[in-house]
Structure 1
Amino acid sequence: MTHATPRSTVLTPLVLASLVTVYLVWGSTYYAIKVAIETLPPLGMLGVRFLVAGALLMLVLRLRGAALPSARGWGASALVGALLLGGGTGLVTLAEREASSSVAAMLIAVSPLFAALFARLWGERSAGHEWLGIGVGLLGVILLNVSELRATPLAALLLFLAPLCWTLGSQWSRHLPLPPGLMGSAAEMLTGGGLLLLAGAAMGERWQPPSGPSLWALAYLTVFGSLLAYSAYMYLVAHTRPALATSYAYVNPVVAVLLGVGLGGETLGLGGWLALGVILAGVGLVVWPRAAQTPASEPAA
């Protein structure tokens, strides 16, 4: 039986650094994805992104003496990679063909609610102020959708399914025999990237000469979105409570909207800015340190 790693209730410097990384970097990746898929096939682009990032990370780890994953480790990594990178990031990227980067980030903000619900499957509980923060954050998302939603029904469905896959994979990963440390992230990116390339080929995606901006966006997504932010996120999943690990989903829309408006020519009305303020209030409640846990609220083995 795989035992879950005890989750810290303290905002240590490493936890704070990881939070800032996923808040800012992943908030910017929505716009970067939009630029990348202007001339690159969505799933193929992601496959290249994660394969390159995973190979580079694994090479560095091997040079530092880290052991390769076992067969069980590769299998668990493939499952997590399929859910997080294939179902999570893959569906978002497909949706961005018909939705703005701002809207994509807004709808992903339901992740903390899914995370709290999935965590209960493994006996974990969220504190009262976390549920309140989730509720306030979702209220902000509803306001955003009412005032700013500009996406086709298919894109909206994909953006609903994406966080469902992502949070299920995140919570499940803590109970699977994944390779230790960053080797787990490398294996997940390699297997997930391979699955995305196969899915793109099965869908008949075609490659054409990419533009310069698309190539720069792909490089940014590979280095910062995958190597840096994905590793930081998996650290948060392993060492913090679900609501805190997924609180990026409330901050990312702020960053995505600012970039979409400032660089991508997207627009946001008064109702949208008001909703962003409500979302940030929800984040504040989610990240507020909880009281010391009793034994009954510890993760189940």
Structure 2
Amino acid sequence: MKAASNKVLIVLAFIAIYVIWGSTYFLNKIAVTELPPFMLAGLRFVTAGIIAFIIAKSIGLDIKVSKKQFINTSIAGFLFLAIGNGFVVWALKYVDSGFAALEMSAQPLIVLLLLRILEGKKIKFMSFIGVGLGILGIYLLVSQNTVSNKENSLVGIGVIFLCMISWAYASIFVSKAKLPKHFFVNSAYQMFMGGIFLLTLSLTLGEQWTAPNTWQTDTQLALLALILLGSIVAFTSFNYLLRVVSPEKVATSTYVNPIIALFLGWFFLEEHITLQSIIAAAILLTGVYFINTKKTLLIFSRFSSKIGKKYREEM
């Protein structure tokens, strides 16, 4: 009975990281049409962090951390969520949600290159193929006239690229950093501190804040879904899967998220999908597959295994 229950949880967790994470681009696109981007992202993560702390406390988890753990979770929250996510929300003002998801799917390529630059990791032959395909796919994606002719679209593309670098570096950082043992407490600190950084940036830039009761219903529902589903459910599901299945299986979300984002953007937001975008997506995701395939996962084994170990503590 327990094994069957675990299988159900695993299936539900995969659905969460596939569908919910894929839909966050669509939800952010809806909300950012009305709300300032950094206020939106900051409010999302601060609220999600507070809820996570309440849940952790209610189920008897110890939320106390050492000074070093607090500093490391703050750094991770800054890299993952403030830069790696918050600035993607800003970029969504200038690029389509499906396009942003496709560009972000090249993140494994950036991780690979950073490991080569920072740690001298050798790039295997299959990974070289993946890098080449990834670069070609990105070029085809961003070189389209329908993309480059949009106002400030190139700025948005560049910002998303910086977000990928931040997220990739954060992945390497957390593999070595001393963090809270329980994944839920760790996630709570990262979300809360990432949100604080974003709200501080919002105030510094002078973004105009408005009360939730003045927002359109679509915006209210989108932010609620981002907080409860995108942050609490999906992020927790991601960390749960790191405990119970292999990292390469968790990484399969890289292939599914852009497809979900493209479909939702096309169906609900009437975002245009060109033939070149479809070809670019196929090439880019094939490149990501070559990078993530088992024969090349040795390059990532050091930091991916450490991440997994951090989240294998019993609740």
TM-score by length of 2: 0.79
Aligned residue type for 1:129? M
Deviations 1:98-152 (A, max 9, x none): 2221222222233111112333435766654344334334433322223353452
Secondary structure of 1:149's aligned partner: helix
Q: Unmatched 5+ residue regions in structure 2? A: 1-6, 307-315
The structure 1 residue matched to 2:287, chosen from 282, 286, 295, is: 282
**More helix by percentage:** 2
Cα distance change on mapping 1:24 and 1:211 into 2, 3 Å: same
The structure 1 residue matched to 2:54, chosen from 38, 48, 59, is: 59
2:133 pairs with 1:136: yes
- What is the distance in 2 between the residues matched to 1:235 and 1:135? 33
Number of residues paired by the alignment?
A: 287
2:195 pairs with 1:198: no
The structure 2 residue matched to 1:188, chosen from 187, 190, 207, is: 190
Are the equivalent residues in 2 in contact too, given 1:251–1:283 (CA < 8 A)? no
- What is the distance in 2 between the residues matched to 1:142 and 1:190? 36
Aligned positions of 1:64-213 closer than 5 A: 64-68=59-63, 69-120=65-116, 121-122=118-119, 128-147=125-144, 149-150=147-148, 151=150, 152=152, 153-180=154-181, 181-208=183-210, 209-213=214-218
Q: Unmatched 5+ residue regions in structure 1? A: 1-11
- What is the distance in 2 between the residues matched to 1:230 and 1:16? 15
Corresponding residue number in structure 2 for 1:260: 265
Cα distance change on mapping 1:291 and 1:145 into 2, 3 Å: closer
Cα distance change on mapping 1:132 and 1:244 into 2, 3 Å: farther
- What is the distance in 2 between the residues matched to 1:279 and 1:20? 23
Deviations 1:129-183 (A, max 9, x none): 3443343344333222233534523212211111111111121011111112221
Q: Quick one: percent identity of the two aligned structures? A: 28
TM-score by length of 1: 0.82
